[in-house]
């Protein structure tokens, strides 16, 4: 089962918004939100809440890709999120997420008995490439037990 399939199976909002997981690697996650009128705002583009969910979902996908091998001993949790809406979004939008710290540093902190935190940066773009939103989600790996 791919990370996208796993998220669609376990996170109802992923299914609700029909998010499409285009790429999920430890280096990058790319997720698309199709243009759907039922999730539009008052000007006909994707609603801010849908764009937030898109970005947060992309951040979760990269966290699972980078740290999926740690799930037996820690659970990934979002700690905080910040989003800045830069330009009007119209039509389909795509979120690209990247880790803000090397994964091996995060795992080393977990190995040392700490609860590491790390940022994930997300850029949301229109089909023409314009960045419509920038987002940062801070994640932690909470040790089990």
The CATH fold assigned to 3-143 is: Thiol Ester Dehydrase; Chain A (3.10.129)
d(CA 133, CA 43): 16
Q: Quick one: pLDDT at residue 50?
A: 97
Ordered DSSP codes for the chain: --HHHHHHHH-HHHHHTT-EEEEE-SS-EEEEE---GGGB-TTSSB-HHHHHHHHHHHHHHHHHHHHGGGTTTEEEEEEEEEEEE-S---S-EEEEEEESS-HHHHHHHHHTT---EEEEEEEEEETTS-EEEEEEEEEEEEEP-
Taking residues 128-142, report their average pLDDT: 98
Q: Quick one: pLDDT at residue 1?
A: 84
Express each pLDDT in 79-125 by its tens digit. Answer: 999 999 999 999 999 999 999 999 999 999 999 999 999 999 999 99
Express each pLDDT in 14-58 by its tens digit. Answer: 999 999 999 999 999 999 999 999 999 999 999 999 999 999 999
- Nearest Cα to 53, choosing from 37, 71, 38, 32? 32
Residues 6+ apart with CB under 8 A from 6: 64
Q: Quick one: pLDDT at residue 145?
A: 74
Burial (CB count within 10 angstroms: exposed 0-12, middle 13-18, buried 19+), residue 117: middle
Taking residues 67-77, report their average pLDDT: 95
Contact 44, 126 (CB under 8 A): no
Q: Quick one: pLDDT at residue 94?
A: 98
What's the predicted TM-score (pTM) here?
Answer: 0.95
């Amino acid at each position: 089962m791919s990370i996208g399939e796993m998220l669609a199976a376990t996170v109802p909002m992923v299914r609700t918004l029909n998010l499409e997981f285009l790429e999920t690697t430890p280096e990058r996650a790319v997720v698309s939100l199709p243009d759907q009128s039922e999730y539009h705002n008052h000007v006909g583009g994707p609603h801010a809440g849908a764009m937030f969910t898109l970005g947060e979902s992309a951040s979760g996908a990269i966290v699972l890709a980078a740290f999926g091998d740690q799930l037996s001993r820690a659970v990934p949790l979002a700690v905080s999120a910040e989003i800045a809406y830069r330009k009007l979004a119209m039509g389909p939008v795509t979120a690209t997420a990247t880790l803000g710290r090397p994964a091996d540093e995060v795992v080393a902190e977990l190995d040392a008995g700490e609860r590491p935190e790390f940022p994930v940066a997300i850029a949301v773009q229109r089909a023409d490439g314009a960045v419509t939103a920038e987002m940062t989600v801070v994640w932690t790996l909470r040790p089990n037990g």
